[in-house]
Every structure is written in structure tokens, then in C-alpha cells.
Amino acid sequence: MNGLKSICALIFSVIIVVSFSQYVSAETSNRVVAIVNNDVITLYELNKKMEEMTGLTPNEISSKDKKSYLDTRQKVLELLIDEKITQEKIQEMRIQVSSDQVDNTIENIKKTNHVTHEELVAGLKRQGITYEKYRDIIKKDLERNRLIHYEVKSKIIIREKRILQYYQRHKEEYCTEAKVHLAGIFLNNKSDNEKGLRELSKKGEDILTRLRKGEDFGKLAREFSEGPGADEGGDLGRFETDQLDPVLRKALKGIPEGGVSSPIIRGNGIQIIKLVNREVYRVRPFEEVRDAINEILYKEEVEKRYTAWIKNLRENTYTKILF
């Protein structure tokens, strides 16, 4: 009888411990970490947002780098506060987005990314997001974009004088890339000894001598080349000079159009390059880059004015962080 009472007492104590630990866990995750006017942000919201944005749980971030965890937590909390503030402004201005607008936006996203509805849902599932949650995210983004358009974007005008001044200060950024049109003769090294390499080098020098005497590069490429474009007279196409490997860039230095390089030793053979044509850098005219500059300045202005706008909202909002 006493044994039975002991077992019952043990079971009861285990139930109490488990229940208490679950209560503490729920209380901890629902702890308020910030107050925004009449709304609150809980630790659960903060942790969930951190995981959504980083792909790591707060514990995983903290275990890797405590300082990184604290910095990330603060940045995400500031973001959540801004979201709460803008959401209040959306409600105040009675901004509404219809279900059709959400559907149309999702359809455009699918078309842009070339995914089917099933592929989208599967991708969301891998990220732990339901389709309904995704629709809610899109809806809130549309509302926020509309708010920012009303409060910020609609008030921005980029004047022509400012665009022209930017162009004049950044001309070096609007140069066309230098390009070269190349042809090549490639001799494959089929031997793994010095004698074979010497014979291949002599063959390359003989071909170079014939080229310098005026023989047609295309004809010799069709006859001797074992590399790309051999059937087209060794034509390799056009390349931006930055795309070329350093060895080739060095070999082409100082070669005039129509000129040929000395034999270039490669790991698997010998290459002779002809510089068919060279396009030098040129500054693109203002009319050609005007719209691109306008977009840059517009984005800069949106960022600057949005920062000032959200700062002003925060100054007029009661916020308190409870860490």
C-alpha cells in the first residue's frame, strides 16, 4: 500500500514539474519585448522574425557569435517596431488592398520567376511558410508600398539639372568596355616529353614566320589549328578585355589591329592569337544613360526621404524596448 502511494506521489510530482516547465516556456516566449503605442511585440514574434530573415534560430546565432546575435536581435526588433508603426499608419489612412490585387501580384511573381503554382507552394513549404501566410505577406507588402508611395514617392521630383550634374561627375562610370575581336591557332601538345614540346614550339615558330611574311591567318588556322573556331579560320569572337586571362591580356599589349602574338605556351599546347579588331573605351552620351541616372537618383531620394519619414513617425509614437 505504501509502495502504491509512493508511485502516485512520484507521478503527481512529474506532472507538476512538466506543467510548470510548459507554463514557464509559454510565458517566456510570449514575454513582451517592446511596446508600440497600444500594441506590443513579443519575444515569440522577435525570434520568429529573426529565423525568417537569417535562416537560423536565435539559439544557433547565439551559439556561433554572441555579439552577432545581440546586433541581429536589435536590428530585427527595430524593423518590427517600424512595421508596427507603418501598420498603424496604414489603418489610419484606411489603405486597403483587394484579394484580386494580391492574386495578380502573385501571378506576376510566378511569371517573372518562371515557376508554376505547385512549385511556388513547394518552395514556400521548404521555408516553413504556408500559402495563406505568403498571401498575407504579399498583402502587407502591397499596403506598405502604397503607404510609402502616398507619403514619400509621390512627393519626389528629380530635376534635369541634377541628372546632368550627376552625369558630369560620374562620366568614368559610363564608358563602354574595351572589346577585342580575336582569332586563334592552337597546337595541341600530344607529347609528355621535352622533345615533343620542342618540336611543337618549332612548328609554332614556323607558322608565325609564315604569318609575318603575309600568309592568310584563316587559311593557316584551317590547316593547322586544333582549337576552337578552326573551321571558321580560327575566329574566336569578341571579348571584353576584362574577361581575358592575364596571360592573354599581356600577350595582346601593344599589338596593332591585324597583328599576331608570339606563341603563347599553355599547359596543353601552344596558341597564336590574331587581334582582328579593337574597340576602345568611349563615354556613352548623356541621352543614352539619362534614364538610368534618373533611376539611381530616384532610389537615393526615396531612401533618404523614407528614413526621414519613418524617423518622424517614431518621434511621434510611444515606443519602449523592454530588454
Q: Are both 259 and 305 inside the same structural domain?
A: no
Is residue 98 in some structural domain?
A: no
Q: Are both 65 and 53 inside the same structural domain?
A: yes
Query: In this predicted structure, what is the pLDDT of residue 179?
Result: 84
Query: In this predicted structure, what is the pLDDT of residue 12?
Result: 40
Query: In this predicted structure, what is the pLDDT of residue 194?
Result: 76
Is residue 44 in some structural domain?
A: yes
Would you state the torsion angle of the CA atoms of residues 191, 194, 200, 202, taken in this order, to the nearest 10 degrees?
Answer: -160
Give me the chain's average pLDDT, please: 86
Q: Are both 60 and 86 inside the same structural domain?
A: yes
Last residue of a domain, one of 92, 109, 139: 92
pLDDT band of residue 291 (cuts 50, 70, 90) is: very high
Is residue 103 in some structural domain?
A: no
Q: What would the DSSP string read from start to end of 281-292?
A: P-BPPHHHHHHH
Q: Are both 166 and 244 inside the same structural domain?
A: no
Q: Are both 161 and 288 inside the same structural domain?
A: yes
Is residue 73 in some structural domain?
A: yes
Return the residue matching grid coordinates 539611381: 296
User: From start to end of 172-297, where are the E strands?
Assistant: 179-188, 235-240, 264-266, 269-279
| Overall residue count recorded for the chain in this entry | 323
Is residue 315 in some structural domain?
A: no
Domain hosting 295: range is 154-173+283-310
Is residue 321 in some structural domain?
A: no
Query: In this predicted structure, what is the pLDDT of residue 76?
Result: 95
Question: Is the confidence at residue 253, as pLDDT, over 90?
Answer: no
pLDDT band of residue 97 (cuts 50, 70, 90) is: very high
What whole-number distance in Å separates Cα of residue 95 and Cα of residue 117? 28
Q: Are both 163 and 304 inside the same structural domain?
A: yes
pTM: 0.55
Overall average pLDDT of the 71-78 stretch: 94
pLDDT (tens digit, 9 = 90+) per residue, 198-227? 888 899 999 999 999 999 999 999 999 988
Q: Are both 168 and 244 inside the same structural domain?
A: no
Grid cell at residue 89: 499608419
Burial of 214 (0-12, 13-18, 19+ CB in 10 A): exposed
Percent of the chain with pLDDT over 90: 64
Domain count, the chain: 4
Question: Is the confidence at residue 18, as pLDDT, over 50?
Answer: no
Is residue 113 in some structural domain?
A: no
Average the pLDDT over each of 60-69, 106-115, 273-282, 312-321 and give the range with the smallest value: 273-282
Question: Is the confidence at residue 55, as pLDDT, over 70?
Answer: yes
Q: Are both 186 and 204 inside the same structural domain?
A: yes
pLDDT (tens digit, 9 = 90+) per residue, 136-148? 999 999 999 999 9
Q: Are both 265 and 296 inside the same structural domain?
A: no
Max Cα-Cα span within the chain: 116
Helix (H, G, I), strand (E, B), or coil: what is residue 208?
helix
Query: In this predicted structure, what is the pLDDT of residue 17?
Result: 38
CA dihedral (10, 16, 19, 24) positive or negative: negative
Is residue 53 in some structural domain?
A: yes
Residue 192 sits in a domain whose CATH number is 3.10.50.40
Q: Are both 181 and 262 inside the same structural domain?
A: yes
Q: Are both 58 and 191 inside the same structural domain?
A: no
What whole-number distance in Å separates Cα of residue 19 and Cα of residue 17? 6
Q: Are both 85 and 168 inside the same structural domain?
A: no
Evaluate whether 270 touches 189 at the Cβ level (below 8 Å). Answer: yes
